Amino acid sequence: MANTMTLVDNRNGDKYEYGILSGTRGPDVVDIRSFYKDSGMFTYDPGYTSTASCESKITFIDGEKGELRHRGYAIADLAGKHSYLDVCYLLMRGKLPTPEASKDFDLEIRHRSFLHEGILKIFDAFPSHAHPMATIGSTVMALSTFYKEHLNLKNEVQFKEMRRRIVAKMPTIAAMAYRNSIGVPAIYPDVDKYFTENFLYMMRAYPGGKLKRTIMGNEEIKQVEVDALDAIFTLHADHEQNASTTSVRNIGSTGAHPYVAVSAGIGALWGPAHGGANEKVIDQLKLIGDVANVPSYIAKAKDRNDPFRLMGFGHRVYKNRDPRAESLKGLQDQLREELNLDSKLLDIAAAVEEAALKDDYFKDRGLYPNIDFYSGVILTALKIPVEMFTPIFVIGRTVGWITQWSELVQDPTTKIARPRQLYTGK
């Protein structure tokens, strides 16, 4: 029979037949939803490396080809060519906005960027040294208490408001979390500023008045900085069923408030194996210390008996080049020229990249620079504090999380997430 797969239990000859599902892109999928009922057995797939957990129309990745698409658009045709907010619109609505729709969406996001005054009091309860990721996750969780009575998911207007609200408020929450962590007063959003410029403004400005210098010692915000960070937000916007998105979907499957699900995604993203990886790249570049030391560290990375591992190379999904890294590489070169950067860290990163790309050890294993390798260096060039690297990932990824959550709750076949196990205890 066509479009089926037959599984044979060689212990007793029992046969089980299952349908094969085909998507518009990517590998076919064996539909084994009835496998336990049919056979009394579970499948075993730690890390879900061969398991499709859902059907989705949002983002597609082909790791072998190094391909990433949002709603059919290649990431190279979006990052730096469309604003981050236009990409948000694309993810949530399924199409790029018209110029008029783009303007209206931008205006709405600007006015939704303010936080309820009650939320601001929450920041006062956190110690001034709290890591911004902890503060952001807690504050997003608290949002569910402020908007619970105004959320009817069967009401299309309220459904759209819920999604746009969390996208609009995340930069404000992140900026205030940072300022709280260094003990300086919060800065309110400025509706005259675009999404990304507004975030940089809330991060940097002195309270009261518009000064030439900022709390970070930088000059006024440059357009090249806004464009660079906007592209970074776009490159982080969604990445299919990764650990944090899967967390959002799993929590969403229980019927929990969407902002609670997003808070779970923030917690998952914080891990150094996920969103925190770009911080580790910077730590490692500082450890290397000088361009002259690069060859010895490359040798350490190739030595199986040495615990040293080169951070920012290779990817769980991409077995070829990471398409997001390709975009960031061009952005890094542009920033170096336009901002007249001559950073020792950039020099070390360039030397590491050149050495690894020439080495057969890395090429044979498909260990190319990933998004974390470049994003950390670029954010450093933009004078973003290291503790804000992952929060910037959060800002960019929020639209992906809430779009994935939306798809989940609107899917009539959705069931509560409930993996099984291979029990080996007493």
3-class state of residue 6 by DSSP: strand
Q: How many CA atoms lie within 13 A of 98 on its CB side?
A: 2
CA distances in angstroms from 185 to 38, 146, 188, 221, listed in the order given: 62, 23, 10, 19
Go through the chain and tell me how many residues it has.
Answer: 426
Q: With contact defined as beta carbons under 8 Å apart, do 169 and 426 qualify?
A: no
Cβ neighbours for 305, distance < 8 A, ≥ 6 positions apart: none
**What region does 318 belong to: left with phi over 0, alpha with psi -120 to 50, or beta?**
beta
Q: With contact defined as beta carbons under 8 Å apart, do 191 and 110 qualify?
A: yes
Strand partners, 136: none
Distance CA 243, CA 241 (A): 7
Please state, as a whole number, how many other Cβ atoms lie within 10 Å of the Cβ of residue 58. 20
Pairing of strands 73-74, 4-9: unpaired
3-class state of residue 312 by DSSP: coil
* First and final C-alpha spacing in the chain: 43
Query: What is the token pair recorded at 45?
Result: 């797939």
Q: Which element (helix H / strand E) includes 18?
A: strand 14-21
**Residues 86, 227, 315, 322: which is the catalytic one?**
315
3-class state of residue 40 by DSSP: coil
Q: Which element (helix H / strand E) includes 308?
A: none
372 catalytically annotated: yes
Helices (H) and strands (E) counted in the chain, each on its own, are: 17, 6
Q: Of 84, 100, 80, which Cα lies nearest the Cα of 195?
A: 84
Q: With contact defined as beta carbons under 8 Å apart, do 397 and 237 qualify?
A: yes
Q: Please identify every residue annotated as catalytic.
A: 315, 372
